[in-house]
Structure 1
């Protein structure tokens, strides 16, 4: 999980700093098509979850919902590049990772479950703090470039 989080943060940093190069709005038709693609992907991913049962199904649904929320946030960031939208992408990733981790904790019982949930919450809290730091860095870089 730590490797995934570190990789996601590194990718987010690259995305944040490259936003200036992408500062173009998406045409409305392309935006709508992308929204439709995201909705269709979510429906397909959620339908795949029907083959599972119990907590495995819950984890699958959490992953599908998380991917949808991340895709929506990334679309907004591409449509209107700003510190706020890039921050929202990072928050969506943190929230999605937490939701999946929390669902996976449901497979455990007692103290092990409590520890798992606490660790998942700590990862989310750290990711949100890093997202805020990235937003402040992005804003500072934008101010410096002006």
Structure 2
């Protein structure tokens, strides 16, 4: 009798572990797919920046990078849950701040100072 109960418990535990393993795979698969899409989108966006020159090119590349980081952060948040969602928001905020600062580089003097101050206040830096 004890042998039957032990076998049943072991069998139930094994089935539970298989279920957990199968449940984890779709999240990892989805993350890889989201990351691959983000990488492909980044390459395409960066390619669009190639013909540009000067600060316009810099802003374009920063925006492409910000969009890429945002997509990666979203993918991580989907995979890891609420805790990662906070990190994703911070990553997005940092990337958008970098874009805003890059846009300020086209300005000079007081206009640039105001632009940088506005970016800092908007993104909490």
Q: Which TM-score applies when normalising by structure 1?
A: 0.64
Q: What displacement does 1:81 show?
A: 0.7
Structure-2 residue corresponding to 1:52: 52
CA RMSD of aligned residues (A): 1.7
Query: Residues 18-53 of structure 1, C-alpha deviation per residue, up to 9 Å, x if partnerless?
Result: xxxxxx854323222221111111111111111211
Structure-2 residue corresponding to 1:100: 99
Q: Counterparts in 2 of 1:106-121, with a 5 A limit?
A: 106-121=105-120
Q: Which TM-score applies when normalising by structure 2?
A: 0.74
Hey, what's the Cα distance between the residues in 1 that align with 2:45 and 2:64?
6
Query: After TM superposition, what 4+ stretches of structure 1 lie above 6 angstroms from structure 2?
Result: none
Larger Rg: 2
Structure-1 residue corresponding to 2:79: 79
By relative contact order (CA 8 Å, sep 6+), the higher-ranking structure is 1
Hey, what's the Cα distance between the residues in 2 that align with 1:29 and 1:90?
23
Structure-2 residue corresponding to 1:65: 65
Unaligned ranges ≥5, structure 2: 1-22
Structure-2 residue corresponding to 1:32: 32
Q: What displacement does 1:93 show?
A: 2.1
